[in-house]
Structure 1
Amino acid sequence: MPILAPGVRRRTTARGAVVATAVLLGGMLPGAQATAGDHEIDAHLVYTCDFASGEQQVQVGVTATVPDSARAGERITPTDVVTEVTLPDAVVKELAGAGAVTLGADTRLTTRVGQQGHRTETEWLGTTGTAVPVPASGPLTLRSAGEVPFVRPLAAGDLTFDALGLAGVLTPRKADGTAVEPAATAAGGTAVEPAATELACTPEADQPTGLGKVRITGEEAGITPEPTWPGDTGSGKAEARPKDLAAPEVGARKEPSAAAEAAPPCVGDPNDGLNMVAYVTGYADVTKLRSATKFPLACAQITQGETRPDFSQPGFLHMYQDSAVVLDYQGKPQLPPASGTFLTFGFMPTTAVMEMTQIPPKTGGDGLLVPNIKSDIAIDLSNNSSKNITVITMDFMLRLRDVEVNGVPMDVGDSCRTSKPFRLTLEGRMTMTPEGVIDGYTLVSGGVLTGSVTIPPFSGCGTAGEDLDSLFTASISGESGYVKQTQGAPCATVSADPTYCTPEGQPVNVPVAER
């Protein structure tokens, strides 16, 4: 019934088996990022923006990571995308004079994607997350980051990125956190409105606006445009394709998902170089009840162990890593409470709130948690293919409360729980072909894990001399139940990489439970 750790299925096409191997080896280190075959975009532009006090020039910096090359038909997603907007002294004084103590920003950079004379546009969205302090005077730089849509070139030839218009919203706030209200009128009767300012900026003429390019190889023949763009972003909307069918495809911009908005706090220790945090969710089946319980998003605190290379098997390199995971819900080692509905004895509708509390691993003599995550990447040195298996074991106690049978509350007391701890074992697998195609789960990328669990008998159920242990034991205990858990890509808190971490140090990736 439990849930645990990690998984979002992802399939990545590497730009060569050697690069993919570097990804695997680098990815086992906390905060490590594979950069082989990639290059950095680092552009500095001047924009003119409209403010309440009139037009002002602002400095805009754009950084991102893109591959050196890719093949026609392959999706390309820029990563580590950051837009820096530096407000001039006049605007900063205006904000400070209106009582602004902090300033947040949401930005939208329109980017033109071109290839062989064909062009389309996409949007790079970013947010500052945590508001930044507003000085009394001087320039102020706002750093916004976020995920951006994919681009899919349909032919060979350089794929170029150019900056177009910049838009967004500036949100100033007072010391108490409330929004800065527009000032009534200034001396002379001129309205001054520094609050919640809409940004509308255009790049200055006569300056290069190119951001970067990617070399695209391969043949145009045989590449069929996808039916929607993108259709698989989770928005549920199939948007019309650009009129220029030869232009590169781009994915629709990503709106915050309901799952992301409902995600609980999940913050790690930025001073711990081994700490990662990840969101997890999933389903657990109770075989007897012929039902599945969905567990809400939970936070997993992961402590990575050291990576140990092993060449003892001829022709293979094994990379072993032992890590530890402890769930974190409101400071307790447990999953968020989950409500389940099932048919007791096959006909009686019963609902209950289930609390899954983890028994954390013990602390070893080195002061670290005893590992409950075992990872092994086996790399075939003859062809650069590899297989990875990760096994996670967790011990739980299950408590039932707020029970209703056929709509009638049943008092089961405060101690209705399994009579002893039980173990959940989950397994995730990853494969990499000699061509560099990676598919499956790793601890540092997330994915799907599956396993099974057997629930022990119950004890302590019932009040006033009424023993309900046998009822729940007969209905729930025994018979292994299937468990499928999904882990999002973790945030290595020591690095706080904006690709994987929010400005608050929480995971960017919020997984959705899979059946």
Structure 2
Amino acid sequence: PARPSAAPSGRTTAPAGREPARGTTGAPDPASPAEIGKGPRVAAEETPGAPGSRPKAPPCVTEKPTSTSLSAYITGYSNVRKLDGASLIPVSCVQLEQGEPVIDFRPDGTLHLLQRSEGSLLHQGRKQTPPFTSTFLTFGFAPTTATLVLEQAGPLVVESDVLLVFPDNIAETYIRVPLVLRVLDAKVNGTPLDVGPDCRTATPLASPEPQPAKYPGDHLVLLGKGQLLNGTDATGYVLTSGGPLTGEVTVPAFKGCGTGGENLDRLLTAAISGPGNHVRQIQGQTCAVGVEVPTEGQCTEDRQPYVVPKPER
């Protein structure tokens, strides 16, 4: 069984901070940009899945890591509004390469630390989640069970913006990734429904995009907000320490569903597709894979993430 590289450090938990807000002015934090970019560990009381008894998790080994390589697990729920239910997205491996932090002096006098990182999901060598099963009452009366997978269809980009103010730093992080929902198999009232080998959404899932000119195309957008109080642990979400990420997504129409001349595209589109599906994901503490000595309690002995988060609705 996997063990952490060392026991957690046991720092004092920070008190809950105010709701993160943008545009606050004040004196910049004296901490160096490198320290801010790394981010502190989120306290166990604040983060689901903080170090403790490690649950089982899929492999998350980074091949050929660099000094900026990170890995983490993420899991959570996505509502399926049309079916009045929620689907559990299983614990999934995410691997990232951190970009260089950049100091940005704004015209309004505020000081920001910006960082762009890129990465991907990884499951058995593919950029996807593990398969997961969901059961719903289709059209309100027919129990339907489907095995699904989310496949990455383009770059996963993480953009962090930390407003440096005194006595704390306010972080806002956007994660953008195009994901196609694929149906592997389905049963209706216990009877197998042959969806064929290529049943999937015609386009990636689509979220409202706050900067459509800069980020065109359909993709999932998740937002995490956090607060880094000087000398204490973080609250909310910070890339390196994890936390909650939320968003909303439209499920597009399906294509390629059915075999033997039977077209199931309209059936699945009518049952599942539509807007207004709330997404809440919980990311665990990252493992700094490529450093010589990983921080206590963050990595297993073979450099996989030690923290396996628990989903929250």
| 1:336 positional shift | 0.5
* Bigger strand share: 1
Percent same amino acid among aligned pairs?
41
TM-score for the superposition, normalised by structure 2 = 0.79
| 1:340-386 deviations in Å (ceiling 9; x for gaps) | 0011111110000001100132xxxxxxxxx7111100112xx3333
| 1:311-336 deviations in Å (ceiling 9; x for gaps) | 23454220000111200001100000
Q: Distance in 2 between matches of 1:292 and 1:344?
A: 13
The structure with higher relative contact order (CA 8 Å, sep 6+) is 2
Aligned residues of 1:11 and 1:439 also touching (Cα < 8 A): no
Q: 1:245-256 alignment to 2 at 5 Å? A: 256=53
Name the structure 1 match of 2:37: 28
2:197 to 414, 422, 425: 414
Residues 330, 315 of structure 1: CA spacing in aligned structure 2 closer, same or farther, 3 A cutoff? same
Q: 1:12-51 alignment to 2 at 5 Å? A: 12-13=13-14, 22=31, 26-29=35-38
Q: 1:117-266 alignment to 2 at 5 Å? A: 256-257=53-54, 260=55, 262-266=56-60
1:295 to 86, 89, 106: 89
Aligned residues of 1:273 and 1:493 also touching (Cα < 8 A): yes
Q: 1:271-282 alignment to 2 at 5 Å? A: 271-282=65-76
Name the structure 1 match of 2:213: none
Aligned residues of 1:387 and 1:431 also touching (Cα < 8 A): yes
Q: Distance in 1 between matches of 2:76 and 2:32?
A: 27
Aligned residues of 2:48 and 2:243 also touching (Cα < 8 A): no
Matched residue count: 275
Name the structure 1 match of 2:227: 431
| 1:13 positional shift | 2.3
CA RMSD of aligned residues (A): 3.1
Name the structure 2 match of 1:487: 283
Q: Distance in 2 between matches of 1:271 and 1:325?
A: 12
TM-score for the superposition, normalised by structure 1 = 0.49
Aligned residues of 2:33 and 2:103 also touching (Cα < 8 A): no
Larger CA deviation: 303-312 vs 425-434? 425-434
Q: Distance in 2 between matches of 1:505 and 1:498?
A: 12
Residues 270, 494 of structure 1: CA spacing in aligned structure 2 closer, same or farther, 3 A cutoff? farther
| 1:164-192 deviations in Å (ceiling 9; x for gaps) | xxxxxxxxxxxxxxxxxxxxxxxxxxxxx
Name the structure 1 match of 2:105: 311
| 1:23 positional shift | 8.5
Aligned residues of 1:270 and 1:493 also touching (Cα < 8 A): no
Q: Distance in 2 between matches of 1:409 and 1:440?
A: 43
- SS of 2:269 mapped into structure 1: helix
Name the structure 2 match of 1:514: 312
Structure 2 residue runs of 5 or longer lacking an equivalent are 1-10, 16-26, 206-218
Amino acid at match of 1:497: T
Q: Distance in 2 between matches of 1:24 and 1:446?
A: 19
Aligned residues of 2:201 and 2:252 also touching (Cα < 8 A): yes
